[in-house]
């Protein structure tokens, strides 16, 4: 069974990868979704988070969410698969801790 320490380590690695993409402190918004509190059995429900990073192309080109994006799905310049590949391609050791800049 995963622990709170496992979740903290996963978040540390993920946010380090975001910072490592462009070698900068990477801003993001994050929100958590927990199980509904409706008195019903929700064993199928999983705690999960959403990350909304505003940097897509470079450290200086930001993505601003507007209109429908704030209430629905955001428009992206790349697919979820392409974004995941970019994150997998960088280290999960923060660039400031790796000794390489």
pLDDT at site 88: 93
Q: Which of 8-12, 13-17, 37-41 has the lowest mean pLDDT?
A: 37-41
Q: 62 pLDDT exceeds 90?
A: no
Q: Which domain holds residue 29?
A: 4-89
Determine, yes or no, domain membership for 61.
yes
Question: Residue 18, class by beta-carbon neighbours within 10 Å (0-12 exposed, 13-18 middle, 19+ buried)?
Answer: buried
DSSP state at residue 43? T
Is the whole model's pTM more than 0.85, yes or no? Answer: no
pLDDT band at 46; cut points 50, 70, 90: confident
Which residues touch 14 (CB under 8 Å, ≥6 apart)?
A: 51, 87, 92
Query: Is 10 within the bounds of a domain?
Result: yes
Q: Tell me whether residue 74 is in a domain.
A: yes
Q: Is residue 53 part of a domain?
A: yes
Instruction: State pLDDT tens for residues 69-99.
Output: 666 666 677 788 988 899 999 999 999 997 7
> Domain of 40: which CATH number?
3.30.428.10
99 within some domain: no
Give the number of domains in the chain: 1
């Amino acid at each position: 069974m995963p622990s709170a320490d496992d979740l903290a380590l996963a978040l540390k690695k993920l946010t380090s990868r975001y910072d490592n993409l462009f070698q900068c402190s990477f801003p993001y918004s994050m929100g958590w979704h927990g199980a509904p509190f409706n008195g019903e059995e929700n064993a199928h429900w999983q705690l999960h988070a959403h990350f909304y990073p505003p940097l897509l192309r470079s450290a200086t080109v930001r993505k601003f969410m507007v209109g429908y994006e704030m209430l629905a799905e955001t428009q992206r310049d790349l697919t979820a698969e392409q974004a995941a590949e970019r994150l997998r391609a960088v280290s999960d050791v923060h660039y400031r801790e790796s000794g390489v800049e």
